[in-house]
Amino acid sequence: MKRKLKPYQQMTTAELAEATRQYDKPGTIDRTRPMTRAERAKERKARHAGGRPRIGRGAERINITIERNLLAQTDAMARQKKIGRSEMIALGLKLLIRRKAG
């Protein structure tokens, strides 16, 4: 059974040298192998993970001009509600659309 190592930051110089000794040897690349199809798929997914989750048909970035005081009020309310500026604006637009439809 392998001995559990403490974090590198907490090791003494001697402990750190012992824990990383394998990387001092030349030819480490010779002990590697090509990734399997499953490993490549997992690696590809990890590289492209992240970003915003898709909601509805997705999002589109737009540029708008808004009066500075209104933007400051929007940002203040968004901070108060702990949501982002985009979500705050989207909520306002949805409210207007619902009122128009109803």
What is residue 28's predicted lDDT score, i.e. its pLDDT? Answer: 62
pLDDT of 1 over the 60 cut: no
Cα separation of 25 and 21, whole Å? 7
Q: Are 76 and 69 in contact (CB under 8 A)?
A: no
How much is the pTM?
0.49
Classify 26 as helix, strand or coil. coil
Instruction: Kindly state the DSSP code that residue 79 receives in the 8-state scheme.
Output: H
pLDDT in tens, 34-87: 999 999 999 998 888 777 777 788 888 899 999 999 999 999 999 999 999 999
- Residue count of the chain: 102
Q: How far apart are CA 92 and CA 9, in angstroms?
A: 49
The three-point CA angle 29-43-9 to 5° equals 65
Ranges of each domain in the chain: 67-102
